[in-house]
Structure 1
Amino acid sequence: MKSFLSARPVLWFLFLFNGAVAALRAVAVDGAQGVMAAVGMGLVSLGAGFGLVPSRRGTTQLGRA
């Protein structure tokens, strides 16, 4: 399951879909329930977006391992 969720196409889908749903929720649902739903979906979208950023583990500032 972890390899499936960390695949780039899945991360792109989660990022775009959850971002769009968060934006629509903020407009479509009134009150605290709409705000909390938008915040929750936005956090999932941000998490997927950070998963798309390439990691730089094992390198120093000069680019050497």
Structure 2
Amino acid sequence: MKTLLSSRPVLWFLFLFNAVVAAAAPFVVDGTQGVMTAVGMGVVSLGAGVELARGRGRSKAAAV
């Protein structure tokens, strides 16, 4: 499972999908729930983006 989650295609999906949801959540869901959804999805997107920037997904996926 760790190998799958650290592969570049999965990291790109996590980064883009969560960024879009984080941007849209405050407009779709009202109140605190929308803000907290945006924050949570933004954190996941940021984490995937950091891993992509480090190049970690490329080296681990190639090793397996």
Paired position in structure 2 for 1:7:
7
Aligned pairs for 1:28-43 within 5 A: 28-43=28-43
Q: Does residue 20 of structure 2 align to residue 20 of structure 1?
A: yes
Instruction: Give the % identical residues.
Output: 67
| Larger of the two Rg values belongs to structure | 1
Larger RCO, structure (CA 8 Å, separation 6 or more): 2
Paired position in structure 2 for 1:59:
none
* TM-score, length of structure 1 as denominator length: 0.79
Rounded to whole Å, the distance in 2 between the matches of 1:40 and 1:18 is 9
Paired position in structure 1 for 2:60:
none
CA drift at 1:54: 2.4
The RMSD of aligned alpha carbons is: 1.0
Aligned residues: 55
Task: Report the secondary structure of 1:53's partner residue.
Answer: helix
Unaligned 5+ residue runs, structure 2? 56-64
Which structure has greater helix proportion?
2
